[in-house]
Amino acid sequence: MRKVLFALPLVAATAAALAAGVPATSGTGWSEEEIALARSLSLEALPPVPDEPSNRVADDPRAVALGRALFFDARFSSTGDVACVTCHLPERQFQDDRPLGRGVGQTGRRTMPIAGTAHSPFLFWDGRKDSLWAQALGPLESPVEHGGDRTQYARLIAEHYRKDYEAVFGSLPDFAALPANAGPNAAPKAAAAWTTMEDEDRNTVNVVFANIGKAIAAFERTIAPSETRFDTWVASAEFPAPGLLSEEEVAGLRLFIGKGQCITCHNGPLFTDNHFHNTGVPAVLGLPQDKGRESGARLVREDIFNCLGPYSDAEPDQCSELRFMAPEDHSMRRAFKTPSLRGAASRRPYMHAGQIQNLTQVIAHYVAAPKAPAGHSELRPLDMDEQDRRNLEAFLLSLDEVR
């Protein structure tokens, strides 16, 4: 079971108190609450990557090596030129800077970065997967991402990765008698071929497919957030006084944890509560209606590759997030996952479909708190003048990695 990175009720209560004005108790003018909240955002407060009971090879170095190879292999696509790395570029924080991700086609959402996602109980903007390995499987079958199918991928493993796969997962079966292309979420011909297969054969292919995801997840668990100027400053002797951070940046931090109430959702060392919120982000003209977490909650429950599914290595009592997850309802409509703000300054555009172009506009959105296009926005208008906004943006710039 993953642990919450930060006590959310405490964050909310403390942020509300700071917004109301808590008296300073230190010689620097900072209150004890402000200092504690600032420290809670530093990488020093990040716990070790949590155990992953649904993936028994999550920390096996052999699985990491296999997963890294699969992550960069473009043969795992319908066209032979799309790999995980196509959208998750290592030199760009494992994302692609596009408003909408693009594989063999164009997706309806922005590519999310990978660093630190092993700490998250639910993946994707809508949380429709509950582990890194289950998440890795989704794009492989998506008709606009990799566009391939399950028997195709099983055959690729047998042909190109047999030795490495069998070292981690055991002997591969013989796929010679199975269709070259078959899968439940594939193109019509391949989907029809899947229905003609025996249940035992479908299960055999599913096991290999799940193991592909587990290997990729083992690699992705090694991708950690990079240190920022903010982290260096918090660890320094000068903290909380300006120095490594400018006066403007420090003022922006105090707004972030104070009257701006940004920390209510962007809390903990990863600057995310890993929850889902409707913040009134506009819809994109021409894209299908996106219900966000309302749809994602249903999809993760139905997923055969979830923690409680037949391809998970976990015991049922190790799947607490899924077992006790709130059921989908209208309150989750257009609620999207809180993204990490680490490195966000250099990976615009923003929001789940790249609707907002820069940080200045993001801050303006939160200050104005517009009505949501569907569902109900959690935002309330903020009292922040132009200097406040500049200070807040300056602080966000300090969250880029140190180069």
Q: What percent of the chain has pLDDT over 90?
A: 91
Identify the pLDDT of residue 28: 66
Identify the pLDDT of residue 1: 43
Q: What percent of the chain has pLDDT over 70?
A: 93
Residue 284 has pLDDT above 90, yes or no: yes
Residue 144 has pLDDT above 90, yes or no: yes
Per the DSSP assignment, residues forming a β-bridge with 276 are: 337
pLDDT tens track for 366-397: 999 999 999 999 999 999 999 999 999 999 99
Phi, psi of 50 (to 5 degrees): -70, 160
**Rounded to whole angstroms, how far apart are CA atoms 312 and 175?**
23
Amino acid sitting at position 96: D
94-100 own/partner pairs: CB under 8 Å, 24+ apart: 94/223, 95/347, 97/347, 97/348, 98/354, 99/349, 99/353, 99/354, 99/355, 100/353, 100/354
pLDDT tens track for 40-69: 999 999 999 999 999 999 999 999 999 999
Amino acid sitting at position 143: P
**Rounded to whole angstroms, how far apart are CA atoms 133 and 63?**
12
